[in-house]
A = this chain, B = another copy of it.
Amino acid sequence: MKRIAVLTSGGDAPGMNAAIRAVVRKAISEGIEVYGINHGYAGMVAGDIFPLTAGSVSDLVGRGGTFLYSARFPEFAQLEGQLAGIEQLKKHGIEGVVVIGGDGSYHGAMRLTEHGFPAVGLPGTIDNDIVGTDYTIGFDTAVSTVVDAIDKIRDTSSSHHRTFIVEVMGRNAGDIALWSAIAAGADDVCIPEREFKFENVVNNIKKGYEKGKNHHIIVLAEGVMSGQEFAMKLKAAGDDSDLRVAVLGHIQRGGSPTVRDRVIASRMGARAVELLRDGIGGVAVGIQKEVLVESPILGKAEDNALFSLGADGEIIVNNPHKADLELYLLNRDMNNLNLY
Contacts and interface: CB of A to CB of B under 8 A. Distances in A.
A155 B261 CA distance: 16
Contact of A155 (B65, B157, B179): B65
B62 A266 contact: no
A158 B14 CA distance: 13
B26 A333 contact: yes
Given A145-B152, A259-B180, A65 B159 contact: yes
Nearest to A139: B259
A145 to B, nearest CB: 7
B160 A61 contact: no
Interface in A42-89: 53-55, 58-59, 61-66, 69-71
Contacts of A108: none
Interface in A286-316: 289-291
A253 interface: yes
Given A21-B334, A61-B185, A159 B12 contact: yes
B54 A340 contact: yes
Contacts of A259: 140, 143-144, 147, 179-180, 183, 258
Contact of A26 (B62, B262, B334): B334
Given A159-B66, A182-B262, A151 B250 contact: no
Nearest to A135: B290
B290 A333 contact: no
Contact of A260 (B140, B247, B248): B140
Given A62-B185, A69-B214, A159-B69, A330 B253 contact: no
Contacts of A214: 69
A336 B25 contact: yes
Interface in A256-292: 258-260, 262-263, 266-267, 270, 289-291
A233 interface: no
B263 A179 contact: yes
13 contacts: A26-B334, A58-B185, A58-B213, A61-B185, A64-B156, A69-B160, A144-B259, A152-B250, A154-B254, A157-B250, A183-B266, A244-B250, A289-B290
Q: Across chains A and B, which 7 residue pairs bring their CB atoms closest together, nearest first?
A: A152-B254, A64-B155, A155-B254, A65-B155, A12-B159, A289-B289, A28-B339
Given A58-B213, A270-B334, A289-B291, 13 more contacts: A53-B340, A55-B340, A59-B185, A70-B160, A134-B290, A153-B251, A153-B254, A156-B250, A179-B259, A247-B249, A258-B258, A258-B260, A263-B327
